Amino acid sequence: MAILQKHGKNSCPDLASIKENPADNIGQAGSQKKWAESSQNWTRPVARIWTVVLLLGTCLLYCARVAMPICAVSMAERFTWSKRETGMVLGSFFWGYCFTQVLGGYVSDRVGGEKVMLLSAAAWGAMTAFTPILAHFCSQPIVSMTISRFLMGLLQGVHYPSLASLCSQKVVESERGFLMSTVGSGSYLGTLVIGGIGSLMLDLYGWESVFYVSGLLSVLWAYCMWKYLLKGEGPIITLESLGSAGTQSKLSKRNWLRLFRQPAVCAVIITHLCTASTFFTLLSWLPTFFKDTFPDAKGWVFNVIPWFVAIPSSLFSGCLSDHLISQGFDTASVRKLMQFFSMGVSSVFTLFLCGTTTFPTAVAFVSATMGLTTFSHSGVSVNVQDLAPSCAGALFGVMNTCGAFTGVIMVYFSGYLIEATGSWASVFGLITVVNLLGLGTFLSFAEARRVDIDLAKGRYHNIHI
């Protein structure tokens, strides 16, 4: 594991030279003003307000996302869906989710992540609220629900890339860990909220109420963000605002190829791929593990307690990483330390599940695993912003796309292992191997210096798509 080392505030000569000579470093005069505007960081009070708003937005994102799984049984009974048809509806979300990651990051890098996030939230919030109407008034509910879930995936796929782009443009390096870990905990909070309140609404008012409430609250969040944070400025995205890539196509291709040849960039992609794959596998199969191993256990215990642990764990990791960086410790070493806890220490508790014989012990090990996994919000998830702030959204989109595809594959492969071996130890062993592969790659090649700068020339160029 990397040893934490302290450094001075201006220990990176590349970034220091950028601060001293901004006009010379940007290159083209026409882009100087645009880059200066996008480089203005939020003040700490403004950053705290945005952190709370983005936390609430991510919470609502997951409320809307998990509404369908919560209501799937009731909807299947109402519309006489088979297990295969129900699985088709639920799975269509992830295929749509994969396709807009890079596009969302690209547009966010050009026009601002807050605009992309606002437009998408208004769209997927409205889509969620209209879901019951589409289900009741369409002659083929299975078709309308499959298409609506696919569109939900398309619309929600831009959220995290736009968040990464916004954070890289507006948040100083020493505070990114706290913001990303806090906002990331919104996913666990949203899962808890919709699992608890949503289940209650389902029993009292029917499955339609879950969609109405989560969708309308999401639209209300988008309106408040537009009204009070963006001051009513229209989130207009035009072709002109995206920039004319035609004259720079050759340069952009060369720069992107050079970017992907950087070992540090390959390391964050591989590490995020491994992290996402193991997380999706645990998320998908842990309920089945508990049902098979402890059939008399209460479902709400193992479905709720790990998420209660994950929320403070995520917040703690962000505070810890930012504190270490503010104290002068090397940024790359801090990122590696966070990822070591996320993939290394958590794997120890995952292996402990192989020999677990009591239900309380299993819940404790799973809670420790899920809590430590959240440390990646202050590790690889933030490292992409250290490496390429000028294109962090698009690069994070590439990472998330790879993670989503491999996650689906690993979930299916884990099911095959369970059927072939009849043992959960094979799945937990697979998760550990994948985690250690990603961790070894990150510890070996991860850096925190900017690599979206052409050091071979006397001038600095931001990479554009």
Is the model's pLDDT at 198 over the cut of 70? yes
Is the model's pLDDT at 245 over the cut of 90? no
CB 136 within 8 Å of CB 426:
no
Predicted pLDDT at 389: 87
CA-closest candidate to residue 376, choices 427, 454, 431, 435: 435
Is the model's pLDDT at 79 over the cut of 90? yes
Q: By three-state DSSP, how is residue 28 classified?
A: coil
- What value does the mean pLDDT take over residues 386-397? 88
Res. 46 pLDDT band, cuts 50 70 90: very high
Predicted pLDDT at 209: 95
Higher pLDDT, 280 or 28: 280
What percent of the chain clears pLDDT 90, i.e. is strictly above it?
51
Least confident of 78-87, 179-188, 249-258, 274-283: 249-258
Tokens read off for 194? 């919709």
Is the model's pLDDT at 138 over the cut of 70? yes
Tokens read off for 118? 């606002």
Res. 362 pLDDT band, cuts 50 70 90: very high
Res. 4 pLDDT band, cuts 50 70 90: low
Average pLDDT over all residues of the chain: 84
Is the model's pLDDT at 93 over the cut of 70? yes
**CA 248, chain centre distance (Å):** 30
b/e burial code for range 360-376 (CB count within 10 A of at least 16 → b): eebbbbbbbbbbbbbbb
> Per-residue DSSP letters for 409-434?
HHHHHHHHHHHHH--THHHHHHHHHH
- What value does the mean pLDDT take over residues 42-62? 94
Phi, psi of 229 (to 5 degrees): -95, -40
Is the model's pLDDT at 341 over the cut of 90? yes
Predicted pLDDT at 263: 94
Is the model's pLDDT at 146 over the cut of 80? yes
Alpha helix segments (H runs only) across 206-330: 207-224, 239-242, 249-260, 263-293, 299-326
Q: By three-state DSSP, how is residue 443 classified?
A: helix
- What value does the mean pLDDT take over residues 219-242? 76
The model carries a pTM of 0.76
Work out the number of other CB atoms within 10 angstroms of the CB of residue 405.
16
For 262, which DSSP code? S
Predicted pLDDT at 211: 96
Least confident of 239-248, 402-411, 440-449: 239-248
